[in-house]
Amino acid sequence: MQAKDRIILALDVDTEKEALALVETLYDRVGAFKVGMQLFNSVGPGIVQKINQLGGRVFVDLKFHDIPNTAAAAGRVMTRLDAFMYNVHIAGGREMMTAVVKNTAEEASRLGVNPPAVLGVTVLTSISSTQLREEMKVDKRVEELVVEWAVMAQECGLSGVVASPQETALIREACGPDFLIVTPGIRPGWAAAGDQKRITTPREALDQGADYMVIGRPIRQAADPREAAARIIEELEE
């Protein structure tokens, strides 16, 4: 994989105009674009096809968490939209994940297209071990649960997980080399941390075993986004 392909640009904007302008500017300097709830719910699913038409690939970050039949149907929709990746909450359980993977593969073969990679969301990085115990009634440390859930997601046929840089090495060790790890919270040395607390540089994330890194503000808000992406690519290639 080329260094640029590892970068997933977070399109955290409200309008199609802003999103497509970023795609036009950066499609040849990043591997994919992440469309989350903000953009998807503002402009609708057609944004996925529009980004594809401009030469981008799309990670649809809607974190499905529903009964197996409903989540599986949403997975079929992601396949018809030609998403490159989409995600589901591992907390939805084995039956849900298995149904999602099966339906995604079936829809892709029916259409004669590549199935999107299905990623699992482990424990949201905003959740602490204290919240896990006191609110979710789970008596385990976050890191322990994250690794156990990553293994479960792999057993259900998911392609990989979204995880914090702090968890990457443990997941890599437990799940082996072929399981995708996508990590946010990335900050090059020259970028502002903003509200991100536990951050890693692109190089560190790669060294810890991440396949893809979700990067938003360090590129989007740079004075020259193409130059910012180029600097990150260079750092990854070193």
Stretch of 16-24, 64-72, 132-140, 216-224 contacting ligand C5P, by CB under 6 A: 216-224
Structure tokens at 209: 């075993």
Structure tokens at 109: 């073969």
Residue 20 C-beta: closest distance to ligand C5P, Å: 18
Cβ-closest position to ligand C5P:
216
Sign of CA dihedral 57, 63, 68, 71: negative
Structure tokens at 64: 């499905």
**Cα 9 to Cα 29: distance, rounded to the nearest angstrom:** 10
**Cα 190 to Cα 84: distance, rounded to the nearest angstrom:** 30
> Quick check: 183 binds ligand C5P (CB under 6 A)?
no
Compare residues 44 and 194 and give the one whose CB is closer to ligand C5P. Answer: 194
Q: Of these residues, 4, 17, 50, 63, which one is catalytic?
A: 63
Within a 10 A sphere around the Cβ of 197, how many other Cβ atoms?
A: 10
Active site residue 63: yes
Phi/psi of residue 121, nearest 5 degrees: -95, 120
Q: Which of 87, 103, 122, 125 binds ligand C5P (CB under 6 A)?
A: 125
> Quick check: 196 binds ligand C5P (CB under 6 A)?
yes
> Quick check: 78 binds ligand C5P (CB under 6 A)?
no
What residue ranges bind ligand C5P (CB under 6 A)?
A: 10, 12, 36, 124-125, 164, 184-185, 194, 196, 214-218
The residues carrying an active-site annotation are 63
